[in-house]
Amino acid sequence: MRILIANDDGVYAPGLAALYDALADYADCRVVAPIQDMSGASSALTLDRPLHPTTMPNGFIGVNGTPTDCVHLGINGLLEETPDMVVSGINLGANLGDDVLYSGTVAAAIEGRFTGRPAFAFSLVSRLPDNLPTAAFIARKLVEQHDRLDLPPRTVLSINVPNLPLDHIRGIQLTRLGHRSRAKPPVKQANPRGKEGYWLSVAGDVEDGGPGTDFHAVVQGYVSITPLQLDRSFHEAFESLGDWVEGVL
């Protein structure tokens, strides 16, 4: 079993090391991750310059690119043997609801859809690493059970782990994505030379976070597992759109 591990927090991130340590004695693990923090990169590919993989002293490979670049290289020839599965994380910070649209952690797993096995994206609902051992334990347990999964090809599992010690975790819930309201307004600032710019602000408040959502599960102390499908076609809209386009041309 060969696992490609990636992330968006960067090749030096503690969550990446924790995930590798959790899986290293289970499978042949190779790490390909961005040289720098690429949080929020989504599924961006670098097309305007070459990518230069660099092997770190610990054997991890750092790439001057995005999380998707890393997995793209890793499953398409950078490694001696093609990985059987992609596992991404452990992200420091939640990837709940609309966050998955922007998350480099989830994007790395999405790029791993071509292996034929479900890809995993793990996130700890905290910016601090105190409870990384909890997330690493959960990651190991779930990845170990991958062969029991019966899912369509190109399925991604987004897992969010509450920021709790392991003995405080109440269990696991299967969830749907919740939704946030619009993000807070950007913050306008001027640099010492008077040039104005904007800092993107924090994500919006939870708008749809009731029972059944990923937001609700983690607040209640449960690990949230949300299966993601890559077909974004809005099938239910076909009928009304058919009436709309009829006779246009």
For 94-112, the pLDDT digits (tens) are 999 999 999 999 999 999 9
pLDDT of residue 161: 98
Distances (CA, A) of 230 to 52, 145, 225, 238: 29, 22, 16, 18
Lowest mean pLDDT among 3-12, 91-100, 171-180, 233-242: 233-242
Section 127-155 average pLDDT: 94
3-class DSSP assignment, residue 171: strand
pLDDT at 231 exceeding the cut of 90? no
Those residues whose C-beta lies under 8 Å from the C-beta of residue 249, and which sit 6 or more positions away, are none
Mean pLDDT score, 17-31:
97
β-strand partners of 31: 5
Given this model, what pLDDT does residue 239 score?
87
Confidence class of residue 173 from pLDDT cuts 50, 70 and 90? Answer: very high
Q: In 93-148, which ranges are E strands?
A: 119-124
CA nearest 143: which of 43, 17, 4, 31? 4
pLDDT of residue 205: 82
Query: Quick one: average pLDDT of 209-238?
Result: 93
Q: Looking at the predicted structure, is the pLDDT value of residue 25 above 90? A: yes
Distance between CA atoms of residues 27 and 184, nearest Å: 42
